[in-house]
Structure 1
Amino acid sequence: MFRRASLALTNDVLALSAITLLIQGCTLMSFGVFLPALAADFGGRAGSAATAFLLTMSLASLAVGWALDRAGARPVLLTGIALSAIGFGIAAGARDLLGLTAAMAACGLGVGASTIVPGIAIITRHHGTGRGMALAIFLGAAVLAGAVVPPFVGGAMAIWDWRAAMLLCAVAMALACSPLVLLVPNGRIDAQARKDGPGFRPTANVCRLILASTLLQLAINGVLFAAVDGLMAQGMTQSGAVAAYSIANLLGLPALLLGGMLADRIGARPMLIATALLLALGTVALLSPQAMGMAGIAAFVLIWGVASALPGQSGSMLLADVVEPSAFSRLLGLNTAIISLIGALAPALTDQMRVWGDGYGLPVLTYAGLALLAAPLIVGVRPLEAKTG
């Protein structure tokens, strides 16, 4: 066991993990910390900048495989780091919403090109027997980013302001991440030959699962970018709200381990159904701190923190159960692109629903309803074994 763990902790895995932790931590995971201050300076409509960021991050992910195959790992990662840092730096000096949105769109391209998708591709290409553990370490760093970095961002904002904090993040990404690229193998990520198979059809099973996954991603993103502001609106201080948000994200680490063990025992479909129901309950809990005090905060942190980490894990496992093996990678990419692009609409939708409902009640209940609606869709998904057995 120790031997396998040590094999996974190679220089490239550690470097890719550190890059993802810092870049996603400063940008994606800290956007909820930045948004209240951004909204105050940009007329309450800063959610459009978050949506632009998420959209371009998703679009960049679609092109990363092609770029890795033609340019190699290091040029792609360096380009992504540069776009992330430059985009965030320009956003720090933006004076109007259009400039902020454009800068965050550039940053989103960089994050998509330097974190999750290239990391998984590079690790999968260069690791053999220790690949599973290496991926666990890498994906764990992405979860840890949401717990470790936002408190530092919140502290910098308390000392200076959001512009200085954002500029500090940009400098940190550029200076810390660029040298780490030298630890990553520079070879091209050769495309694997694909076998022709009958499984790439948009079957009813696949459509149900993609729709359910999309609803869950919208529900997660809707809370992810509103949790800090939503807690502050109920009387919490900024430092307290950021701490609660960070702890909720940190719970994703043990949740992934426990979720994997449960999914192996009870199956991916029951696990994903339970996750959808738990996510709905955890989302509603965001409205409870004002009435329940610390008990409400604890309920949100515990329930939402656990549930929000699980759909990607059990959802991917269920997709593997309902499609032919020859079609899995293509359908996984399609599913990821769809849920990412539609999920990117959540911050802008939250802004609009807050206007309609004069607060967070309407958006929170809407996102809880979306998670709840996903459950019966998942019930209707039938694994291939069920058809023959």
Structure 2
Amino acid sequence: MSVRETDAATVRLSLRVTALCWLLVLLDGLDLFVYGATLPGVLADKGFGLTAVTGGTIGSLTTFGMMLGALSAGILTDRIGRRKIIITGVVVFSLAAAACAAAPTPSWFGAARFVAGVGLGGLLPSAIAMVMEYAPAWRKNLAVTTVMTAHQAGGALAGALGMTLVGSLGWRSVYWLGALLLVPVLPAIVFLLPESLTFLLAKGKTDRARAIADRHRVALEAFAPEPAEDRRGGLRGLFTPAVRLTTVLFWIASFAGLLLVYGVNTWLPTMMRGNGYNLGSAISFLLVINLGGIAGMLVAGRLADRFGARPVAITWFALTAGGVGLLAVHLPLALTYVVVFLTGAWLFSAQTLIYAAVGAHYPADSRATALGWVSGVGRLGAVFGPWLGGVLVASGLSTMGFLAFAIAGLLGAAMVSLVRRPTLVAQPA
């Protein structure tokens, strides 16, 4: 094969892996956000007996499960492979959806949502690592941000299913649908998604890697793992002298990023109502900010491939702080929609760019662990953000809520700005 044919085959394989992982992250987002979309219907089901307090506890259990899933899967995927963890994650949260649909009691339902969280949290870092390791150097960041648009699309799909199915078929129908999607998706993933060639080479499994490369007619050398000064993998690889400060800084930045994502997504309509907007406008802001998130990720990915994920993440966090702070000012409605859209474009992309930056700072044998732990530790922010917003709103301090979230944006920008440029891993051209 000519060099041009080999390069074309590499791009095709990257697009296949990205498309498959996009589908899986869509299901991840659907299963994550379906709880909020169906919760009103579950609470209205008097025969089931779920209370608002228990409903809040179950939501926290899901987040806690995601944290455990991200932390454990990140380590495991650097030991046994990306593909196995991805497939396991899909199976776990799909079967958990079936358990939710069949749940006879709130306790059963809560346990199933916890298990779903473990599967959801485990899939994401493995999928991001897989996508980055198959993407050409000049499009790694765009590949990551493209895959993460699926999370927002999954949230939108969950809302649409909640609106169309819960009233007519009941809340259980949405969970049954989520479980049934495993039937066509699992065979497609098993037969079409290859193991990461970079992972196989890093583990010395050259024969298996060459068989996959020959099957897809790609040059195996293009997937060689990056040289590193210290080859310690797993969790120890996050605390080598060269990267231990970087690890802590990324953890804090991820905490700030997910605090923003979950805090703003949870309380934006309520805070906007407290700032003088009517109910219809306040709810529509949530749709607009998520649409902005989808558009922003595609823009951020292209900019990150040109200038690097780290500087774009710093800029995006700072702009998020400005946008959230500006929402505390009652502006004309049309201008407010513009500010909300732009804030969404910056807010969701900022957190995604942390994942992209992490992938560029760690070698292949600890990359998924780094992604899993930055996602897992960040989940503490996902818990703290909604709680903080709730405390401020309950105290009649909606304006202070905007200020608190703006400070979180500045914290994220500060932490990423302190991260040193990567020296262990070759940078994209």
Q: TM-score range by the shorter chain?
A: 0.7 to 0.9
Contact 2:31 2:158 in 1 (8 A): no
**Matching residue within 208, 211, 221 for 2:262:** 221
CA displacement 1:67-108 (0-9 Å, x = unmatched): 557777676445433332332344356576644432211111
Residue 18 (structure 1) aligns with? 23
Residue 339 (structure 2) aligns with? 299
- State how far apart, in whole Å, the 2-side matches of 1:257 and 1:176 are: 28
Residue 53 (structure 1) aligns with? 62
Partner-residue secondary structure (3-state), 1:308: helix
- State how far apart, in whole Å, the 2-side matches of 1:214 and 1:364 are: 17
CA displacement 1:150-209 (0-9 Å, x = unmatched): 323333235455x24533443443334333333334669648257626972365565444
One-letter code aligned to 1:196: D
Q: TM-score, normalised by structure 2?
A: 0.67
- State how far apart, in whole Å, the 1-side matches of 2:408 and 2:419 are: 17
Contact 2:258 2:382 in 1 (8 A): yes
Residues 297 and 331 of structure 1, relative CA distance in 2, 3 Å threshold: same
Matches within 5 A, 1:222-371: 222-227=263-268, 235-237=278-280, 241=283, 244-263=285-304, 270-284=311-325, 292-300=332-340, 302-316=341-355, 329=367, 331-355=370-394, 357=395, 363-371=401-409
What is the number of equivalent residue pairs in this alignment? 375
After superposing the two structures, state which structure 1 stretch, 133-142 or 103-112, moved more: 133-142
- State how far apart, in whole Å, the 2-side matches of 1:74 and 1:145 are: 21
- State how far apart, in whole Å, the 1-side matches of 2:40 and 2:326 are: 20
Residues 46 and 303 of structure 1, relative CA distance in 2, 3 Å threshold: farther
Residue 188 (structure 2) aligns with? 180
Partner-residue secondary structure (3-state), 1:196: coil
One-letter code aligned to 1:27: D
Residue 427 (structure 2) aligns with? none
One-letter code aligned to 1:15: L
Offset at 1:237? 4.7
One-letter code aligned to 2:240: F
Residues 134 and 20 of structure 1, relative CA distance in 2, 3 Å threshold: same
User: Is 1:212 paired with 2:222?
Assistant: no
User: Is 1:155 paired with 2:164?
Assistant: yes
- State how far apart, in whole Å, the 2-side matches of 1:324 and 1:171 are: 35
Residue 114 (structure 2) aligns with? 105
Residues 145 and 230 of structure 1, relative CA distance in 2, 3 Å threshold: farther
One-letter code aligned to 1:371: G
- State how far apart, in whole Å, the 2-side matches of 1:62 and 1:336 are: 8
User: Is 1:9 paired with 2:15?
Assistant: yes
One-letter code aligned to 1:117: P
Contact 1:196 1:326 in 2 (8 A): no
Contact 2:101 2:176 in 1 (8 A): no
User: Is 1:28 paired with 2:67?
Assistant: no
User: Is 1:372 paired with 2:377?
Assistant: no
Residue 196 (structure 1) aligns with? 230
One-letter code aligned to 1:14: A
- State how far apart, in whole Å, the 2-side matches of 1:261 and 1:72 are: 28
Contact 1:78 1:178 in 2 (8 A): yes
- State how far apart, in whole Å, the 1-side matches of 2:101 and 2:344 are: 29
Residues 160 and 232 of structure 1, relative CA distance in 2, 3 Å threshold: farther
Offset at 1:141? 3.1
Contact 2:271 2:399 in 1 (8 A): no
- State how far apart, in whole Å, the 2-side matches of 1:327 and 1:5 are: 23
One-letter code aligned to 2:67: S
One-letter code aligned to 2:28: Q
CA displacement 1:268-310 (0-9 Å, x = unmatched): 5553333223223443566678x7545434432x123101222
Partner-residue secondary structure (3-state), 2:339: helix
- State how far apart, in whole Å, the 2-side matches of 1:359 and 1:42 are: 26
Structure 1 vs Structure 2 CA RMSD: 4.4
Residues 283 and 151 of structure 1, relative CA distance in 2, 3 Å threshold: farther
One-letter code aligned to 1:179: P
Tell me, which stretches of 5 or more residues in structure 1 are unaligned? Answer: none
Offset at 1:311? 1.8
Residues 8 and 74 of structure 1, relative CA distance in 2, 3 Å threshold: closer
Residues 287 and 154 of structure 1, relative CA distance in 2, 3 Å threshold: farther
State the identity as a percent: 19
Partner-residue secondary structure (3-state), 2:52: coil
Larger gyration radius, structure 1 or structure 2: 2
- State how far apart, in whole Å, the 2-side matches of 1:259 and 1:18 are: 20
Offset at 1:220? 1.6
Residues 181 and 264 of structure 1, relative CA distance in 2, 3 Å threshold: closer
Offset at 1:374? 3.5
Offset at 1:326? 8.8
CA displacement 1:124-168 (0-9 Å, x = unmatched): 56677898476565344334333444323333235455x245334
